[in-house]
């Protein structure tokens, strides 16, 4: 979960395992600074999502892991009724092999 500024307020074990980080290393950190290489335009989309109070959206982008690898994630985002948080549910797309 992210607050309206994009700071991480909750991160589940799957996400931590996928990215190689520990919970105490990501809570309170800005999602875009930590996980989105060069922004990918994602920060602007997030800002539009929360300022326009869009309740649901779908998006795909790469995230950066602790080891410097990229993971492609498909997101379903829901903004809370109070518009003080954004719940992001992601699914990792594994590369297809030969």
Name all domains of the chain by residue range, CATH numbers in brackets: 2-67+81-93 (3.30.450)
Instruction: Name the 3-class secondary structure at 42.
Output: helix
pLDDT band (50, 70, 90) for residue 40: low
Residues in the chain: 98
Residue 83, pLDDT score: 47
pTM of the predicted protein model? 0.76
Instruction: Name the 3-class secondary structure at 25.
Output: helix
Average pLDDT of span 52-63: 74
Say which residue, 83 or 26, is predicted with more confidence.
26
Share of the chain above pLDDT 90, in %: 29
């Amino acid at each position: 979960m992210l607050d309206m500024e994009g700071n991480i307020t909750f991160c589940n074990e799957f996400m931590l395992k996928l990215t190689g980080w520990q919970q105490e290393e990501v809570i309170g950190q800005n999602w875009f600074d930590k996980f989105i290489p060069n922004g990918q335009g994602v920060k602007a989309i997030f800002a539009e999502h929360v300022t326009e109070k869009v309740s649901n959206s779908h998006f795909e982008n790469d995230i950066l892991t602790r080891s410097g690898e990229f993971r492609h994630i498909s997101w379903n985002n829901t903004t809370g009724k109070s518009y003080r948080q954004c719940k992001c549910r992601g699914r990792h797309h594994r590369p297809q092999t030969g």
